[in-house]
Structure 1
Amino acid sequence: MATASTSKKRKRDDNEDKISFALSSQPKSQLGPVLVNFPAVKAPKSTAFDCYQTEKASVDEDTQFAALPTLVAGETDAVDFFSSSESRRASVGSRYFVAVHNKRTKTTTIREAPLHILTHQVKALKSLKPAEVSTLQRLEARAALGESFGTKKAKQAIRAQERNKLDVSAMETVADHLQESIQRNTQALPSREEAQATADSSRLIPPYNPDAETPSEIYSLHSIIPEAEWKTLSPSAIIQVDSSKERTALLSYQRSNWINQHMDLVCASPSPSRTHVKTLMYISIMMAFRNITFRKFDKLIVYEKLSGVPSIIIDGLISRFTETPRGSTEPQSTSQTETLLLTHMFALCLRVDDYATDTTLIANDLSQKGPTINALFKSLGCKISKLTMHDLKRLGLPDSAGETKRAVLSTPLAFPKPRVKRRA
């Protein structure tokens, strides 16, 4: 009986099948592999290609070669191959890598590579210029294609376009007649200066001086408060009292923080400005008048609630800031008269504030939104902006006041331009 020979099986080494991966140790900016794609004509294998950097850029060691603006180009006897403009777009959102495996070290080295989509150009056709085609020829060719291969709907659209086409030669005989008719009909139209003057005169603001050189000359005091009404105001009683509470009790409108603060500030001076006190008194009367006539105008109620105000002032406010409808004898307050009243009031506020008014406080007093009040100040020619350091020093305000936007009136006077509506 034959004896079976015994043999030891060699144990499998687990390390033999392991492959390690590593990133390329070459500098990132050094020329590396490039991936190219030939979507149309493919170059012969013997064609040599070069890689060029298309833009000068500062290159350091951390710059990726794949991120550099490069161009791949090569040529044969008949055709030029080069990177197309689609190469950059093709790489957006994608990254490509090339891996090289070393059987001896069992290491696979990986490096990022840019993708270039190549296009080509026949050398013999470089000198040929494209045929010049006019717009009319292009339209005619397009219509011919539509008539031959278009759908029924497309053919109907082509015929409709042909019917609506103008015959320019037929218009030549009436061109002079049309021009004369246009000139005759436009003679009555106002000039640009006249149209601007009409627009300025219709603004819901006090009378103004467009040629003013200083802010104080733009809106004169007596163009807002008639001199006859101004003379009836007596500031003595307010100046003589000592407390803020007593001063507020003498005002026609007592719930305005803006008026109360300014009145206290003016009266705290060793020699209070009678002009400022009288102006604040008139602003208080205007606020009270607006509050009374805001919802419904009743002349008897106005006189009753403003019993301490001279009647000449009440009559003046009624005549300037109300309207009497056609066929009626009773005046009424409208949105336009209210706007006119507010702009007159704000022009006086600017005078007291040395032409830099905090609009937030006034908006709270009038229970209005800030942008609404800012728009009215802008209609007076103000700009809503933060004060500069020079303005803060001029007004005697602390540096912290520079964080608050104010309505600033300056010269030359410039009104906001009307917004142009965009086409939908």
Structure 2
Amino acid sequence: MGKRKHSETTSESKSSKSSRNVKIAIETPSKNVDSPYLAAFPGTQPPASTPFTSYRSIDGNEKKRLVIGETEKVKFTGSNSGEDAPESYCQYLVGVYSKSKNTVTLTPAPVLRIHRNVKSLALSDDTIRKKNTQFSEAKTSLGLAFGTAKAKKQLKDDERNAVTGEQLENAIDDMHREIGESSNGPTRDEIKQAMKTDLPIPAHNLEAEQPQDAYDLSSIVTDEELVVMPVKELIQAKPQTTKDLYPLLPYGHSKFINDRILQTIQASGKTDRPRLRVLMYISYLMAYLCRINPKDLKNRRKMETIMNNPPNIILDQLAERYTTHEVRTPFMNDKILCYMLVLCLSVADYQLNPDILAKDLSLKPTKIATVLRNLGCKVDTVKSKAHGSTTKKASLVVPLKFPEISRGRR
């Protein structure tokens, strides 16, 4: 006991001696290196993987900083100057202890208060403007129907003098010509390009020379999602007919998917597992679009049951890509359909029959054909030599060329 007590006393004395000899240094970061920041996140905190970028002031003040981080749905901003700067009556330092050198290095750390902005809330302004327009039109109709002669004359004058968006669009070329090349305003082509970027289509390459290079499939489904597809169970089941696939797939009644899965499994040689993974993911998209009602999007357990218990990452990414605050808007419906049809093209050598997919999804053939045209496909009517019947064939044409955006009324 005495021996152990002696060793403990010795170690404590060494520790206290070491702590007394710690050297403390204050380091001022150079102009080219940013110091660390202390940030306060009121409310929602970003994921740990969210990248933040620091910006310097253009007025020459080396202490001013603006920090911006962004996720798909939320934008975070913070500054240590101006109105957004937190009130601070002291200077904060961050210390780093080096065990090998027995030193503590201190460096100044500006304090930031981070503000969050939800991107989807920007849509609320458009909604308010739309409602105001509807109210104005209704008020005008009532005034013309039941108003006095003087009120009717005023309403007609206001309507005649109003400037509409269509009138501005028709005059945009003349406006640019009068303003001249020195103007920084957008050109007509730039406006059209901005409108096209708002379409619900995957990332694409307008200069692609091969159909397989036209769309970036990784923007639709990642390798992490494909690798968890339960294709092993599908192969081990050894299905002989399409009916055998019904209980094995989340959307088992798709002729487009079932025929290709059966053909892939029954093919001679090594089974093409990457192709099976893409086909099964398309089946998940079909189930998500056709079987999950908008009211069920917040019921995780029900979605798992309907979609045949998919891996967690699949449901997480579907919600991330195709919902806004767990709500599926009409825009998101079109986005699901566009992304799904690009994957269908990829497994069908970029030629497919839109009528078969329309039947699988319980949609009108004209709807599928229209979406395929918007993706850059040419839709032709083909006559069968054997039966004399006609059918549709959609082929992806490169380089991609999208239909012109209509200038008429919606």
TM-score (normalizing by structure 2): 0.51
1:412 aligns with 2:409: no
Shift of 1:205: 0.8
- Asked whether the 8 Å contact 1:297–1:333 carries over to 2, the reply is no
- Asked whether the 8 Å contact 1:386–1:402 carries over to 2, the reply is no
- Asked whether the 8 Å contact 1:212–1:218 carries over to 2, the reply is yes
Aligned to 1:289: 288
Q: In the superposition, relative to structure 1, how do residues 261 and 197 fare at CA in structure 2: closer, same or farther (>3 Å)?
A: same
TM-score (normalizing by structure 1): 0.50
Shift of 1:361: 1.0
CA deviation map 1:353-406 (0-9, x unaligned): 111111101111111111111111111100101469xxxxxxxx9876994221
After the TM superposition, which residues 6-405 of structure 1 pair with which residues of structure 2 at under 5 Å, given as runs? 183=179, 187-240=183-236, 241-244=238-241, 245-271=243-269, 272-300=271-299, 301-306=302-307, 308-324=309-325, 331-386=326-381, 403-405=390-392
Cα distance between partner residues in 2 of 1:239 and 1:284 = 16
Q: In the superposition, relative to structure 1, how do residues 398 and 354 fare at CA in structure 2: closer, same or farther (>3 Å)?
A: farther
Shift of 1:249: 1.7
One-letter amino acid of the counterpart of residue 264, structure 1: L
Cα distance between partner residues in 2 of 1:218 and 1:357 = 16
Q: In the superposition, relative to structure 1, how do residues 398 and 247 fare at CA in structure 2: closer, same or farther (>3 Å)?
A: farther
Aligned-pair identity in percent equals: 30
Q: In the superposition, relative to structure 1, how do residues 243 and 209 fare at CA in structure 2: closer, same or farther (>3 Å)?
A: same
Structure 2 unaligned regions, length at least 5: 1-174
Structure 1 unaligned regions, length at least 5: 1-178, 325-330, 389-396
Q: In the superposition, relative to structure 1, how do residues 371 and 411 fare at CA in structure 2: closer, same or farther (>3 Å)?
A: same
- Asked whether the 8 Å contact 2:176–2:187 carries over to 1, the reply is no
The DSSP-based 3-state class of the residue aligned with 2:183 is: coil
Between 217-226 and 235-244, the greater mean CA deviation after superposition: 235-244
CA deviation map 1:205-226 (0-9, x unaligned): 1111111110001113212111
The two structures, once aligned, show a CA RMSD in angstroms of 3.0
Shift of 1:298: 2.9
Shift of 1:267: 2.1
Cα distance between partner residues in 2 of 1:398 and 1:352 = 25
The total of aligned residue pairs comes to 231
Cα distance between partner residues in 1 of 2:179 and 2:394 = 45
Q: In the superposition, relative to structure 1, how do residues 409 and 185 fare at CA in structure 2: closer, same or farther (>3 Å)?
A: closer
One-letter amino acid of the counterpart of residue 276, structure 1: R
Aligned to 2:83: none
Cα distance between partner residues in 2 of 1:363 and 1:186 = 50
Shift of 1:319: 0.8
Cα distance between partner residues in 2 of 1:256 and 1:180 = 51
Cα distance between partner residues in 2 of 1:246 and 1:180 = 63
